[in-house]
DNA sequence: GTACAGTACTTGAACATTCAACCATAAGCA
DNA sequence: TGCTTATGGTTGAATGTTCAAGTACTGTAC
C-alpha cells in the first residue's frame, strides 16, 4: 500500500524517538494553546486572526483572496469560509472590485479596532509560551530549523516566507 | 478584554518576527503533511495512528481510555470519538473490563496488521520531512526546544513525556 | 448506609476544515 | 471570432474536533 522504493526503513533510535515524541507533543499543544487564548480574548481562532493581521499589514487594508491565502498559508476554500465568518461580524467586507475584476477583501474599521485590542494579549502569549522559555539563540535556531523543515515539506511556502523579508 | 497585568507589551523585532513567521508556517504545514501521508497510505489520520501505535506498545495491546489519552495527548472526548471510528473498522475493540471496572481498549489482530503495514512508510516520511533536512544536532536541539516550550504550554504533559523515558 | 464529590467515559450538537464539484472571468490559440 | 484551458473564487456535503452535558462507577465523610 505504501509507495516504497526501498524496503529497509531505518527505525528511530531511543534518542530520536525521545525528540520525536517531544516534537509531536509540542506540535499538538502549542497551536491549541494559542487558539484558546485568541478565542478567549479576541473571539477568533488563530487562522481568522492571521487574516485580520494580514489585511492590516497591507496597503489600503485590502487584499485579493489568493494573495491573502499566500499570506495566511491556507487553502482558498478554508479562507473563503473564514472570510465569510468574519464578514458576518462586520470585521471585513468583500469588495468585488469594479468592472468584473477579481474579488478582494478589506478590513473594516471595526475589524481593525478589534485587532488592535486583541493584538497585545496575543503577542504577550506568544512571548510567554514560545519566546521567553527559550534563550534568544534557541529561538533563532528554532526559526532556522522551521525554515529547513518547511523547505522539505512545502518548498513553495518556504520561498514565500523568505520573499516576505527580501 | 485581555487579562493584562502590564500595559507595555514588547512587540516582536524584525528578527523575532521572521523566526515567528517561519515557526507558524511550519506548525501549519508539517502536521497536515504527515496527516496526508497517513491518510493516503494507511487510511487514518495522525491521531488515529497514534492510538494504534500507543496500544501496540502496551502490554497485552490494551489500555484504559485515560491512560491512552495520556499517551496520545488528546482529550478524552476526542479519543472516544476516534476509538469509535477505529472500532467500526474492527481495528480496535472496547473491552468493558469485567466486574464493573473501567473501560479499556484493545488493538485487534487486524489493527495490528494494518499498523505494521503502515508504519514503515510513516517512519520514512518523518525522516524525509523532519530528520533528514536537519543535522543530528539540530534535530536534538529541536527536541530540547520542544520540551521547553511544552513546559510553558502544558507542564503536566511535559512531565508525562519525561516520565515515558524515566 | 447515605450523601457528596470526584474520576472515567460517552454522547450529541455546534463549529471548523477538507474535499469535490461548480460558476465566472481571463488568456492562449485555431 | 469561437473553442479550450487555466485561474480565482464560492458552495455544500462529509469528516473531524470541541464543547457542554450526561451517565456510571469510586471513594470519602458523616
Closest protein CA to C1' of nucleotide C19, residue: A77
Cα distances from A144 to residues A135, B28, B42, B50, in angstroms, run 14, 16, 31, 28
Q: What percent of chain A has pLDDT over 70?
A: 92
Measure the CA angle with vertex B164, ends B159 and B166; round to 5°: 90
pLDDT band at B7 (very low <50, low <70, confident <90, very high): low
Mutate to test the interface with B, among A79, A131, A142 (most CBs of B within 10 A): A142
The confidence score (pLDDT) of residue A1 equals 47
- Average pLDDT on B100-119 reads 90
The confidence score (pLDDT) of residue A95 equals 87
Query: Within 7 A of a protein CB, which nucleotides of strand D?
Result: 7-12, 16-21, 24-26
Q: What is the CATH number of domain B41-118?
A: 1.10.10.10
Count Cβ atoms below 10 Å from residue B104 Cβ, excluding itself: 18
Q: Is pLDDT at A166 greater than 80 in this prediction?
A: no
The confidence score (pLDDT) of residue B1 equals 47
Q: Is pLDDT at A99 greater than 60 in this prediction?
A: no
Range with the poorest average pLDDT among A33-37, A98-102, A126-130: A98-102
Which of A16, A124, A129 has its CB closest to that of B152? A129
pLDDT band at B123 (very low <50, low <70, confident <90, very high): very high
Strands of chain B (E only): list them: 62-64, 92-96, 103-107
pLDDT band at A83 (very low <50, low <70, confident <90, very high): very high
Chain B nearest-CA distance from A94, in A, is 26
**Contact criterion met (CB < 8 Å) for B19 and A146:** yes
Average pLDDT over chain B reads 90
Residues of chain A with CATH 1.10.10.10: 42-125
**Separation of CA B46 and C1' C21 in angstroms?**
27
Which of B11, B42, B164 has its CB closest to that of A123? B11
Question: Count of H helices and E strands in chain A?
Answer: 7, 3
| Assigned C-alpha cell, A147 | 525554515
Q: Is pLDDT at B6 greater than 60 in this prediction?
A: no
Chain A nearest-CA distance from B67, in A, is 16
- Average pLDDT on A92-103 reads 72
What residues of B are in contact with residue A3 (Cβ under 8 Å)? 41, 121
Give, for A64, the enclosing helix (H) or strand (E): strand A62-64
Q: Is pLDDT at B98 greater than 90 in this prediction?
A: no
The confidence score (pLDDT) of residue B103 equals 82
Chain B nearest-CA distance from A84, in A, is 21
Q: What percent of chain B has pLDDT over 70?
A: 92
Report the chain B residue with the minimal C-alpha distance to residue A30: B153
- Average pLDDT on B123-130 reads 96
Closest protein CA to C1' of nucleotide C17, residue: A78
Q: Are B10 and A128 in contact (CB under 8 A)?
A: no
The sign of the torsion formed by the CA atoms of B88, B89, B90, B93 equals negative
Q: Is pLDDT at B10 greater than 60 in this prediction?
A: yes
**What's the CA gap between B38 and B114, in Å, rounded?**
12
Listed residue (B23, B84, B32) closest to A75, CA to CA: B32
Q: Which CATH architecture has domain A42-125?
A: Orthogonal Bundle (1.10)
Amino acid at each position: 500500500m505504501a509507495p516504497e522504493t526501498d524496503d529497509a526503513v531505518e527505525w528511530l533510535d531511543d534518542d530520536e524517538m525521545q525528540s520525536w515524541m517531544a516534537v509531536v507533543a509540542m506540535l499538538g499543544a502549542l497551536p491549541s494553546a494559542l487558539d484558546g487564548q485568541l478565542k478567549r480574548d479576541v473571539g477568533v481562532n488563530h487562522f481568522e486572526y492571521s487574516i485580520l493581521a494580514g489585511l492590516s499589514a497591507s496597503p489600503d487594508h485590502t487584499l485579493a483572496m489568493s494573495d491573502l491565502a499566500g499570506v495566511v498559508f491556507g487553502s482558498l476554500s478554508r479562507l473563503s469560509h473564514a472570510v465569510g465568518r468574519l464578514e458576518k461580524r462586520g470585521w471585513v467586507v468583500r469588495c468585488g472590485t469594479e468592472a468584473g475584476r477579481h474579488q478582494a477583501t478589506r478590513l473594516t474599521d471595526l475589524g481593525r479596532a478589534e485587532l488592535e485590542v486583541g493584538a497585545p494579549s496575543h503577542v504577550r502569549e506568544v512571548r510567554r509560551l514560545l519566546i521567553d522559555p527559550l534563550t534568544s539563540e534557541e529561538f533563532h535556531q528554532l526559526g532556522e530549523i522551521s525554515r529547513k523543515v518547511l523547505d522539505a515539506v512545502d518548498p513553495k511556502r518556504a520561498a514565500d516566507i523568505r520573499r516576505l523579508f527580501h
